[in-house]
């Protein structure tokens, strides 16, 4: 096998795979270097797919328990943990098989081993020696960020990697962290029967969405008897072999049977010896431009190691832009492919779901825009009332001078699915009035976007 390529992609997850596919389709010689012991990537093996599989069972159990609202009398459902594990493993094996086939049968070389730079155009791969390339794509993903809390490392705490294995269903759980992993873990285990407490340093509960959406989720958590502890950090962890004792920043303590640390993820780049490639020493994240290009012209990056938002579709967009732009770069042509951060979208698969598309009103103000927003509740919307949604709502944000839609936020049943409606509108830079010309089928949950758009148009015309 040749040890010299046009492009070497370091990392075979979603972003790296997308970059390799595009670059090889442009006639370039490409290699993917993957250091993980198992092919498939974070999303398939330990992230999106297994967690959503587990959440589906949790949500169905919760729906059965709440069936009386719809005139259905049921006994407490019987849950079989081993059956859930088997279903999860079966589905993940199928998803993994599809990705592994793509990696092994793709029009590129697959090299298994850990890589690090030895110069700007060479890397060393374990068991393969030195490999050179005219350009690189770094797509090494991220690792869980575990804070240095006294006693934590000596305790059997869980991270998201542990949860997807479903070792047990603890009676009492404390979740530290209120991002996607923390909130989904809390709702997963509550649905499966655990008593859950969420520990949050901040208030509101979820700062990355509109305040009204965060408040709605707080109300839903209280409905589910999920305890919310605000303004407290975890200062010390004690474990006696069975029970966790958690010392909080105000000196109080909590006891639980299982501690879950959901304190975020950090780019996996420390092992790459990036300074030998020309980067400054000590960087914690690869900065990329709209073309997925780093500060080193021939090195591009995609996904969690470089992205401000760790979501799969963004990693794919960045990877595709990197693969295409490398073909231009190697021909000394202007880079043309871009990924559009205007269309940032992320979801949290709680029950009900939370979604954020584009900017919140506060973020819009911070970057110098003049936003106008409006909100509409599901309990005042036909299909929302039919499905029994009590707390959910959506928020739509527009720029005052143009009426262009610049953001949306929401909590509601399956709201992530129909939030794509707003992504399409934003991609085409539609104004609120233009969006309202598009018909929506009645009665549907997605129809709520037209309701809030009507409210927002009234705000725009009266301002």
CA-derived radius of gyration, the chain? 24
Q: Which residues contact 275 (CB under 8 A, 6 or more apart)?
A: 281
Do 288 and 175 lie in one domain? The reply is: no
Spans in the chain with pLDDT lower than 50: none
Name the pairing type of β-strands 227-230 and 195-200. parallel
82 in a domain, yes or no?
A: yes
149 in a domain, yes or no?
A: no
Do 167 and 227 lie in one domain? The reply is: yes
Do 128 and 31 lie in one domain? The reply is: yes
55 in a domain, yes or no?
A: yes
Confidence at residue 2, expressed as pLDDT on a 0 to 100 scale: 59
Out of 247, 263, 279, pick the residue that ends a domain.
Answer: 263
**Token pair in block for residue 149:** 């809390």
Out of 306, 341, 376, pick the residue that ends a domain.
Answer: 341
Number of Cβ within 10 Å of residue 208's Cβ equals: 18
Out of 207, 232, 263, pick the residue that ends a domain.
Answer: 263
Do 428 and 410 lie in one domain? The reply is: yes
Do 89 and 112 lie in one domain? The reply is: yes
CATH code at 412?
Answer: 3.30.390.30
Give CA–CA dist 161/42, Å, rounded: 10
Token pair 């018909």 in the structure block, residue: 439
Do 318 and 239 lie in one domain? The reply is: no
Q: How many domains does the chain have?
A: 3
Confidence at residue 199, expressed as pLDDT on a 0 to 100 scale: 97
177 in a domain, yes or no?
A: yes
346 in a domain, yes or no?
A: no
Give CA–CA dist 83/53, Å, rounded: 12
Confidence at residue 1, expressed as pLDDT on a 0 to 100 scale: 53
- Please classify residue 276 by burial: count the beta carbons closer than 10 Å to its beta carbon, then call 0-12 exposed, 13-18 middle and 19+ buried: middle
Do 327 and 430 lie in one domain? The reply is: no
Confidence at residue 127, expressed as pLDDT on a 0 to 100 scale: 87
Number of Cβ within 10 Å of residue 281's Cβ equals: 6
User: Is residue 108 within 8 Å of 32, Cβ to Cβ?
Assistant: yes
Token pair 């069936």 in the structure block, residue: 67
347 in a domain, yes or no?
A: no
Do 245 and 272 lie in one domain? The reply is: no
Confidence at residue 259, expressed as pLDDT on a 0 to 100 scale: 98
Do 56 and 136 lie in one domain? The reply is: yes
8 in a domain, yes or no?
A: yes
CATH code at 320?
Answer: 3.50.50.60
Give CA–CA dist 441/315, Å, rounded: 32
Global pTM?
0.95
150 in a domain, yes or no?
A: no
Confidence at residue 288, expressed as pLDDT on a 0 to 100 scale: 97
Do 13 and 136 lie in one domain? The reply is: yes
Range 72-78, long-range pairs (CB < 8 A, 24+ positions) = none
Domain residue limits at 78:
4-144+267-341
Confidence at residue 42, expressed as pLDDT on a 0 to 100 scale: 87
CA angle 175, 226, 308 (to 5 degrees): 45
Do 122 and 14 lie in one domain? The reply is: yes
Do 12 and 125 lie in one domain? The reply is: yes
């Amino acid at each position: 096998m040749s040890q010299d390529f046009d492009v070497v992609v370091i990392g075979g997850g979603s972003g790296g795979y997308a970059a390799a596919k595009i670059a090889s389709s442009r006639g370039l010689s490409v290699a993917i270097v993957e250091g993980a012991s198992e092919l498939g990537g974070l999303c398939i093996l330990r992230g999106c797919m297994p967690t959503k599989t587990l959440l589906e069972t949790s949500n169905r159990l919760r729906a059965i328990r709440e069936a009386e609202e719809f005139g259905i009398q049921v006994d407490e459902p019987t849950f079989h943990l081993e059956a859930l594990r088997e279903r999860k493993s079966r589905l993940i094996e199928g998803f993994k098989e599809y990705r592994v086939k793509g990696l092994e049968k793709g029009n590129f070389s697959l090299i298994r081993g850990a890589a690090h730079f030895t110069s700007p155009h060479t890397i060393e791969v374990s068991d393969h020696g030195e490999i050179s390339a005219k350009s690189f794509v770094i797509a090494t993903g991220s690792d869980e960020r575990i804070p240095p809390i006294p006693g934590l490392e000596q305790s059997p705490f869980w991270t998201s990697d542990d949860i997807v294995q479903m070792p047990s269903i603890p009676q009492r759980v404390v979740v530290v962290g209120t991002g996607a992993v923390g909130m989904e873990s809390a709702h997963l285990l509550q649905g499966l029967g655990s008593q859950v407490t969420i520990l949050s340093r901040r208030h509101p509960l979820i700062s990355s969405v509109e305040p009204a959406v965060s408040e709605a989720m707080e109300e839903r958590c209280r409905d589910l008897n999920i305890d919310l502890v605000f303004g407290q950090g975890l200062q010390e962890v004690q474990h006696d072999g069975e029970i966790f004792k958690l010392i909080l920043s105000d000196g109080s303590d909590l006891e639980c049977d299982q501690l879950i640390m959901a304190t975020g993820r950090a780019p996996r780049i420390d092992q790459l010896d990036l300074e030998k490639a020309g980067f400054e020493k000590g960087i914690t994240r690869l900065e990329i431009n709209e073309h997925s290009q780093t500060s080193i012209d021939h090195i591009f990056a995609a996904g969690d190691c470089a992205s401000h938002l760790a979501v799969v579709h963004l990693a794919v967009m960045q990877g595709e832009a990197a693969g295409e732009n490398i073909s231009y770069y190697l021909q000394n042509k202007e880079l043309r492919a871009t990924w559009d951060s205007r269309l940032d979208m992320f979801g949290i698969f709680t029950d009900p779901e939370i979604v954020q598309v584009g900017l919140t009103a506060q973020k819009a103000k911070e970057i110098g825009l003049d936003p106008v927003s409006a909100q509409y509740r599901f309990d005042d919307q036909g299909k929302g009332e039919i499905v029994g949604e009590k707390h959910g709502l959506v928020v739509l944000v527009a720029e005052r001078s143009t009426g262009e839609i610049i953001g949306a936020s929401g909590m509601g049943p399956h709201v992530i699915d129909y939030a794509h409606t707003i992504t399409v509108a934003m991609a085409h830079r539609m104004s609120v009035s233009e969006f309202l010309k598009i018909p929506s089928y009645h009665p549907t949950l997605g129809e709520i976007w037209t309701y809030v758009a009507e409210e927002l148009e009234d705000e725009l015309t009266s301002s």
